[in-house]
Structures are given as structure tokens and as C-alpha cells.
Structure 1
Amino acid sequence: MTEVKLGGATVQRIEESYEPNFDAKMFFPDWQPGVVQEHRDWLLPNHYDEPSGFLKLSVHSWLLTVGGKRILIDTCVGNHKSRPHRPKWHLMETPYLARLKAAGVEPDQVDMVMCTHLHVDHVGWNTRLENGKWVPTFKNAKYVFSRADYDHYLKVDTDPKTTPANAGSFRDSVLPVVEAGLSQLVDGAARLDENLEVEPAPGHTPGTIAIKFESRGEKALFCGDILHHALQVYHPEWNSFACAEAIGARKSRRAALEHCAGSAARLMPCHFGAPFTCHIDHKGSGFVPRFDGSF
């Protein structure tokens, strides 16, 4: 289990899956095969599977413990969720909650859940199946969602001309939380407490947020899908197939990298391969990741 110390806080990675799961050419429309040879020294085997040509992406949450509070950032795909559009995620059965328990936390002990955006692989464990009904997994937590994302996907979900938003995840993993009165919708930039603030980072979705953290002078940026893969540090112009608005996604990605390179904030992504987190350094007019082994 990856564990990071940030000032007076501890961050633990709660894995759901980690495997070659997306064809690189499909995932990144700008993919160039030459990047494999160029970055071979770090890309293999943790970030790319050469035989299949698939990116090796992790799907995980970050469990942040600070000041006696337990905060879960992004909640993966979830178990028993119907996701036929993505066979690897369809009706999953993973020991995610057992891994959370191994990190020392039961679901009822989680104080806050934060979703960087409302895509299917970031909201799944918000709910679990109980007696045939989707109920909040973390019943004592406040769930923080971006109002911009919530309003966008609510409109998509209720439009009779569209399919259920995010392959149904809005209905089974977001609405039950709102209906239970556990949601906190944030507008724009907001400070949540002495350690946490959120800032709009639209592009990947209309309401994607960047979560900034600071404790005792140490900083981190929980970036969700602002960056999916470490290659985007070298190529911030690369959008994934899932980015809704290309110009905004590139702008938000560069802003995240500038923030980390300029402030020494640790980048805490949700999908990077091992070692799953890094620092960012400037190099010329661009950036490089620094997998410094300090965790």
C-alpha cells in the first residue's frame, strides 16, 4: 500500500484495480508510437504494456487522514455496477472495502468523500447494493461534489434523447447520495477547512475540480483526471478520448503542472502507474515528473 506523509497528514492509496486496460492509440488521439522508445526507462513495465499496446492505469482512491478526519478522494468504479460499455468494469467484484479496512478505516468512519468529477470511475463506491437498493457506502460522510458537474449530468440524465449519464453511474452512484441528504455542492473556488480548498479545473468535464491540500508547509494537488497518465507531464497538450472540452482540458492540465512545479506540491493522480504519485519539475518550457522514491 502506497503511503505518503504530507506535513501532519497521511495519505494512503486504496486500490481497486491496476492492469493494462486501455489501448494507447484509442486513449490518446495524439499518441505516437515513438514515445515508448523515448521514455522506455521509466514507462515499462509500470505505465505501459508493450505486448498489448495498452496503457497500464491504476484505478484507486486516496485516503487522507488529517486532524482526526478521514477523507476519501475519488471512489473508483464500485462493485455490482452494470457497466456493459466497459467489460473490465462490468459487475465488478473487488476487495476494495477490505483494502480500506486494511488501511485502518471502516466505511462508517469516513468523514468526507470528495469527487474530483462525476465520471463513472470516480463515483462508484459512493454507494453499495443493499437489499436490492443503492445506498450510500459512507453513511456518516459529507460528499463533496462540484455543482457545475452535478447540474450538467443531471440535465443529461433527465434528457429523454440521451442515454443515462455516465453509463448509469449518475443514477446509481450520485443521486442516492443527494437523496439521502449527504451531498455538499460547491460552486467555484472554495475553502473547505484549514487544509483543503477546491478550484475549478474545467475541460475533462464541465465541473472538474482540483483539490489543493496543505499541512505544515507541505502541499499536494489531487488532480483526478486533469492528468490520466505520466506521459501527459511531458505532453500536456495530449487530451484523452474522455475529455469533454479540448481547450479547457489543456488549460487546466498546464495550470495543474505549473502549480506543482512552482510550489513543490506533490501531484496525487488517480490513474498513474507505480509509484502512483510524483513531484513535477520545470524543464525548459515544459515539465518532467520526478518519481523520487520518498514513499
Structure 2
Amino acid sequence: MEQTHITLGEVEVGRVMEHQAPLVPAATMLPDFPPEVWRDNQAWLAPDFWEPASGALVLAVQTWVLRSEGRTILVDTGVGNGRHRPHAPHFANWDTDFLDGLAAVGVRPADVDLVVNTHLHADHVGWNTELRDGSWVPTFPNARYLLPAADFDAADPAQQHGRPEPRTEAEFRRRESQAQLFADSIAPVHQAGQLDLWQDSHRIDGNLTLEAAPGHTPGSSVLRLASGGDRAVFVGDILHSPIQILDPACNSCFCADQAQAAATRRRVLERASDERELIIPAHFGGSGITEVRRAGDTFAITGWAGAGA
């Protein structure tokens, strides 16, 4: 597995990999892509992004570690250990050495100043907390946690009164899953007084700004980096596979608002192409950082960054 470390302007960017493996069938996760698309692009999709033998997407679950203006910032916190996830069994009861991975890049839990959750899904908020003496408590005792207000409101069980009851089994499972991850990964941070909610946009410092990018979830967001002449955008789950760069109209099955998600994806790719922003998704393997340019009505991958660059 490649180790990524890159300096952009005055910001150091690295990552800690919690897990990387074939997790979900590509046909399930990205149902709009026909089978021949995967076969035609096998030469560059395998092995980092797709496993030909099983047809599964290879997904990295990782945290991006930023050092900016003297602070240590984590972007998304993975799945976490010991989670009860009956409706997402591939995320249930993990036992990884994530904290050892943080230590290997020189970060102890007490060193973290800020945690950014790009959105509220189980594989992005897990290490917000850890289980101590039978209770979930914030993993990073000195950190502020930034979470989009729209996702917090959608998942908070206390705000479900008066909302329509789930009409389908899928809606029921989604509601129940949100309540579970809220209980173990969000509520303890809120109760500790470490949670900050934001909407529309939020400037973190002179290098980093959060912007709303809804569609995948109501509060899905991107984190933009602009430092010196360098530009990058951490896009969370706007992209699950680089194949979506070739056809940004194709969503994942987990996008809550399909039309909005596709429009957001195109908008983010257009800006990244026009302003020469590196794209840094949550789940790409390899170096994890890609460059794109316009190619007619769609986009093309023109290179990969990181890996000690």
C-alpha cells in the first residue's frame, strides 16, 4: 500500500489508512455503470480501485491528517472499533490499529486540535469516539469537532418527532442506522461540549474552508485548501471510484438525493479542473490524490499525486 505525504503551500497532508479491501460489488455500489465499463478500464482500475475476479469495488477507509497554521486537523475518522452496525455488517465490530497508525505519523489523540466530518455516515465518524469503561467518549479530548448542521439535524433522534414515518424497509433501516451511529459517534461529542455545527460555509483558517456540497447527504461537504499557489479539495463521498470522473452523472446507491448529488459532483469537478485543484476523495486507494481536466462534456484523469511527492 502506498504511503501518501504531500506538502501543499504551507499545509502538510498525510493519511492514516484504517482499512483497504474489496468491500461492495461495483454493480451494487455504482449501479448506473454497465459491466463493460469496468472491463474496458481494468488496466488502470485494478488493483487499487476494482477487483476483477469478484467485481467488487476496492475501497480505502482512511483519515487525512493536515497540519495547518500550527494545528493538527483530521478529515473524517473512519469506521472505528467495536461498532454495532446491524444494517451495515461490513462495518460491524472492527478491531483495527488506527490509533497506532496515527502515532506512526506523530499524532497522539491529545495532539488533535480539530476533527472535520465531511458528512454523517458510519465510515466517516467512527473514531470520533472510543469505548472506555463501557461508555462512548470523545477519542480526541482537546479537539473541536466540525459537523454539517443539516446532517446533524437529519440524524438526531430528538428531531424526528413530526417527520413522516419510514415507508419502506430501506427507509426504516436508514433511520435506524442513523440513530445508532448518532448514539455512539455523535452524541458523546455533543454531550462533552466539543461539537460545532456549521452551514453553507465555514472558514477554518487562512488555508482551509468548508463548503456545503449536498446530495450524497443533506449536509455533505467539501474542504477546500488554498495555500500559496497550491489548490486541493477534499471531496468526501462525492466520489467513491475514479470511474465516476469519466461519467459524473453516475451516483452511488447511497446518495440520498440522486439529482442533487450528480449536479454537485459535476460542479466540484468543473471547479477542480478550471482552478487546478487536486482532488482528494475519502475512499480512493493508491496515492489517493488525483488530477483532472475537462474532456469535452466530461472529465479525464491526468495524473496522480502523493506517494512522497
TM-score, normalising length: structure 1: 0.96
* Residue 87 of structure 1: how far off its partner (Å): 2.6
Please state whether the residue corresponding to 2:94 is helix, strand or coil: coil
In percent, how many aligned pairs have the same letter? Answer: 39
* Residue 36 of structure 1: how far off its partner (Å): 2.0
> How many angstroms apart in 2 are the aligned matches of 1:156 and 1:49?
42
Q: Is 1:238–2:240 an aligned residue pair?
A: no
CA distance 1:16–1:167, shift in 2 (3 Å):
farther
Find the counterpart in structure 2 of residue 99 from structure 1: 101
Find the counterpart in structure 1 of residue 274 from structure 2: 262
Q: Which among 120, 124, 136 is matched to residue 118 of structure 1?
A: 120
CA distance 1:293–1:180, shift in 2 (3 Å):
closer
**Which amino acid is the alignment partner of residue 112 of structure 2?**
V
**Which amino acid is the alignment partner of residue 108 of structure 2?**
E
Superposition pairs of residues 1-295 of structure 1, within 5 angstroms: 1-155=3-157, 158=160, 162=172, 163-166=175-178, 168-293=180-305, 295=309
Please state whether the residue corresponding to 1:247 is helix, strand or coil: helix
Most deviating of 257-266 and 153-162? 153-162
CA distance 1:133–1:157, shift in 2 (3 Å):
farther
> How many angstroms apart in 1 are the aligned matches of 2:89 and 2:217?
23
> How many angstroms apart in 2 are the aligned matches of 1:118 and 1:236?
22
> How many angstroms apart in 2 are the aligned matches of 1:211 and 1:29?
27
* Residue 67 of structure 1: how far off its partner (Å): 1.9
String of CA shifts for 1:63-85, please: whole Å, max 9, x gaps. Answer: 00122110000011000111132
Contact kept, 8 Å, 1:157 with 1:170, in 2: the verdict is no
**Which amino acid is the alignment partner of residue 120 of structure 1?**
A
**Which amino acid is the alignment partner of residue 174 of structure 1?**
I
**Which amino acid is the alignment partner of residue 95 of structure 2?**
E
Please state whether the residue corresponding to 1:271 is helix, strand or coil: coil
Please state whether the residue corresponding to 1:233 is helix, strand or coil: helix
Most deviating of 122-131 and 163-172? 163-172
Contact kept, 8 Å, 1:19 with 1:57, in 2: the verdict is yes
Most deviating of 274-283 and 74-83? 274-283
Please state whether the residue corresponding to 1:122 is helix, strand or coil: helix
Most deviating of 65-74 and 37-46? 37-46
CA RMSD of aligned residues (A): 1.6
Most deviating of 12-21 and 273-282? 273-282
**Which amino acid is the alignment partner of residue 108 of structure 1?**
A
String of CA shifts for 1:200-227, please: whole Å, max 9, x gaps. Answer: 1110000111111111121110100011
String of CA shifts for 1:222-274, please: whole Å, max 9, x gaps. Answer: 10001111011001011111000011100111111011101111111110121
String of CA shifts for 1:24-77, please: whole Å, max 9, x gaps. Answer: 111112121111232122111111101111011111010001221100000110
Contact kept, 8 Å, 2:289 with 2:304, in 1: the verdict is no
**Which amino acid is the alignment partner of residue 96 of structure 1?**
F
Most deviating of 167-176 and 12-21? 167-176
> How many angstroms apart in 1 are the aligned matches of 2:129 and 2:305?
34
Contact kept, 8 Å, 1:120 with 1:167, in 2: the verdict is no
Contact kept, 8 Å, 1:205 with 1:244, in 2: the verdict is yes
* Residue 293 of structure 1: how far off its partner (Å): 4.6
Gaps of 5+ in 2: 166-171
Contact kept, 8 Å, 1:157 with 1:164, in 2: the verdict is no
CA distance 1:57–1:156, shift in 2 (3 Å):
farther
**Which amino acid is the alignment partner of residue 277 of structure 1?**
I
Gaps of 5+ in 1: none
TM-score, normalising length: structure 2: 0.91
> How many angstroms apart in 2 are the aligned matches of 1:57 and 1:42?
15
